[in-house]
């Protein structure tokens, strides 16, 4: 250890130590001692642009209890060193981990998860049960951690991380907000503060690549303030840190890459060096030269049985109408010109109302918090089991979701399809990290099961619903329905 000698405050000659040398002396991670200087009273002297310390004063401060959390800091350093020694592939730090869909896909692509940050207790329990080797930040609230503390927990230093990945809560930008209120709160929603938190971790970590997932509403024309917040934040970061993060926005439908589910999401990717990420070619679909879509039958056909637990029986006013709707259809079947009875007006309900799977097509989008009439429902007019939900999101079969039915639906419905995350991880390795011999075949896609059985036989509309027959007006247009009109008159109704 090299030190310089100069006169101390009392005229005594004693070596000055820098911040990194003091961290070594105290056996804590570099940067841990910074927060101890002013609020905690660690003796330090500003010499030019750097803090300098005297060992005798530091030791006295510790003996007097100034660093009450020093043992925890030492434990964090040792854990970080242990994690570093075990890492063999590119590293990822996960924010807003949820049930781990994005992270499982990245794991399948070869990434090593260094730390997960997740606030939901049941999602944390899911991670602990299935991936006990993934370290969870405690507490799980990202707003309660300084970004550099998260780096220390992951055994990382600035610039070491390969990939920062996460999907901040999407509700502020979701399409459901448009349906229910004619708009959504967007940056006015307190949950949108997670975008700022994500940017703070980018600045602290300076990862080689950042990956952010969200709903399409983040980039809606004229409603893209969330995207602009990210772009402007990265521009400021580039000026301060001399980096070159350039945003690529991908609009991906998971079914176009072999996931057995129609699920549209936005992925934002940027590299520290300014390498532009190129959108990759669609692999599945109905067109020439494409593999056929993976279907609902491919994913869950082996779980199809004629009897099921009572917990999978649908409930609510419209439950008994489901058997009268064909596979792959929704309530629109029972609108004028739809083929069934005129029970509803055209587009007067949300798309997923009484929506059913078709065996020979990909699943409709899995919802996180469905109401009793919200699909997709099984082609047998029942709820999907948690295992079936996981299959449609391409979770591994041995992965167990903790919590009750409602929690499991929320965890799985909020997740990124694992196979789509695997594809993104492989493409990041190929295009940005420059890794050789990156495979192209995905491990997490379901296999084809062959042709499915014929569609389920459609039943007659129960007499109780025939009283709804009549001439129903169609929906007047986006943001013009009666619910939206009421909310525009009284904004408090949208809360």
Query: Using one digit for the tens of pLDDT, what is the confidence trace for 65-87?
Result: 777 766 766 666 666 555 555 55
Residue 24: pLDDT band (50, 70, 90) is confident
Task: Determine how β-strand 91-95 pairs with β-strand 4-7.
Answer: unpaired
User: What's the Rg (C-alpha) of the chain?
Assistant: 27
**pLDDT score, position 2:** 38
Instruction: Delimit the CATH 3.40.50.150 region(s) of the chain.
Output: 73-290+418-431
Q: Rounded mean pLDDT of 193-222? A: 89
Instruction: List Cα–Cα distances, 100 to 209, 353, 366, 401, in angstroms.
Output: 19, 28, 16, 10
**pLDDT score, position 75:** 67
Instruction: Answer yes or no: is pLDDT of 215 > 90.
Output: no
pLDDT digits (tens, 9 = 90+) for 257-315: 999 999 999 999 999 999 999 999 999 999 899 999 999 999 999 999 999 999 999 99
Q: What is the pTM of this model?
A: 0.79
Comparing 27-31, 76-80, 267-271, 419-423, the range with the smallest average pLDDT is 76-80
Catalytic residue among 116, 170, 256, 418: 170
CATH number of 73-290+418-431: 3.40.50.150
**pLDDT score, position 20:** 75
Residue 146: pLDDT band (50, 70, 90) is very high
**pLDDT score, position 171:** 53
Average pLDDT, the chain: 87
Q: Rounded mean pLDDT of 194-217? A: 94
Residue 485: pLDDT band (50, 70, 90) is low
**pLDDT score, position 220:** 61
**Token pair of 270 as six digits:** 């940027």
d(CA 98, CA 482): 35
**Token pair of 307 as six digits:** 């009897």
Higher pLDDT, 417 or 188: 417
Residue 62: pLDDT band (50, 70, 90) is confident
Cβ(173)–Cβ(186) below 8 Å = yes
For residue 486, indicate whether it is catalytic: no
- In terms of Cα–Cα distance, which of 187, 75, 210, 201 is closest to 142? 201
d(CA 270, CA 276): 7
């Amino acid at each position: 250890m090299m030190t310089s000698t100069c006169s101390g405050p009392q005229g005594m000659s004693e070596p000055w130590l820098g911040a990194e040398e003091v961290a070594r002396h105290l056996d804590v991670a570099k940067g841990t001692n910074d927060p101890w200087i002013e609020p905690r009273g660690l003796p330090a002297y500003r010499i030019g642009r750097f803090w300098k310390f005297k060992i005798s004063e530091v030791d006295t401060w510790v003996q007097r209890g100034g660093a009450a959390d020093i043992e925890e800091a030492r434990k964090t350093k040792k854990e970080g060193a242990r994690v570093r020694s075990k890492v063999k592939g590119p590293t990822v730090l996960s924010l807003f981990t949820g049930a781990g869909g994005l992270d499982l896909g990245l794991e399948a692509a070869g990434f090593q998860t260094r730390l997960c940050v997740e606030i939901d207790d049941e999602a944390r329990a899911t991670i602990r049960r299935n991936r006990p080797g993934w370290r969870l930040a405690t507490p799980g609230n990202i707003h309660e951690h300084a970004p550099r503390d998260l780096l220390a927990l992951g055994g990382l230093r600035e610039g070491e991380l390969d990939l920062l990945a996460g999907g901040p809560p999407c509700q502020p930008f979701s399409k459901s907000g448009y349906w229910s209120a004619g708009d959504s709160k967007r940056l006015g929603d307190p949950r949108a503060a997670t975008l700022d938190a994500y940017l703070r971790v980018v600045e602290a970590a300076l990862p080689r690549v950042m990956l952010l997932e969200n709903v399409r509403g983040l980039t809606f024309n004229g409603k893209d303030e969330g995207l602009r917040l990210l772009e402007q934040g990265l521009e400021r970061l580039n000026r301060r840190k001399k980096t070159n993060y350039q945003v690529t926005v991908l609009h991906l439908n998971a079914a176009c890459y072999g996931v057995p589910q129609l699920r549209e999401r936005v992925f934002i990717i940027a590299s520290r060096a300014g390498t532009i990420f190129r959108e990759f070619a669609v692999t599945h679909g109905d067109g020439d030269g494409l593999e056929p879509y993976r279907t609902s039958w491919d994913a869950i056909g082996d779980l199809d049985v004629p009897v099921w637990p009572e917990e999978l029986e649908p409930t609510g006013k419209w439950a008994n109408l489901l058997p009268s709707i064909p596979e792959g259809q929704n309530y629109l079947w029972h609108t004028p010109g739809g083929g069934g009875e005129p029970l509803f007006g055209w587009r007067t309900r949300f798309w997923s109302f009484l929506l059913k799977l078709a065996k020979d097509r990909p699943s409709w989008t899995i919802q996180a918090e469905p109401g009793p009439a919200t699909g997709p429902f099984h082609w047998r007019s029942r709820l999907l089991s948690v295992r079936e939900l996981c299959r449609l999101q391409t979770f591994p079969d041995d992965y167990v979701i903790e919590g009750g039915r409602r929690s499991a639906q929320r965890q799985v419905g909020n997740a990124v399809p694992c196979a789509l995350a695997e594809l993104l991880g492989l493409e990041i390795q190929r295009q940005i990290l420059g890794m050789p011999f990156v495979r192209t075949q995905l491990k997490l896609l379901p296999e084809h099961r062959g042709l499915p059985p014929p569609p389920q036989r459609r039943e007659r509309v129960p007499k109780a619903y025939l009283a709804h027959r009549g001439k129903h007006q169609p929906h007047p247009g986006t943001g013009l329905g009666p619910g939206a009109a009421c909310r525009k008159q009284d904004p408090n109704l949208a809360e």
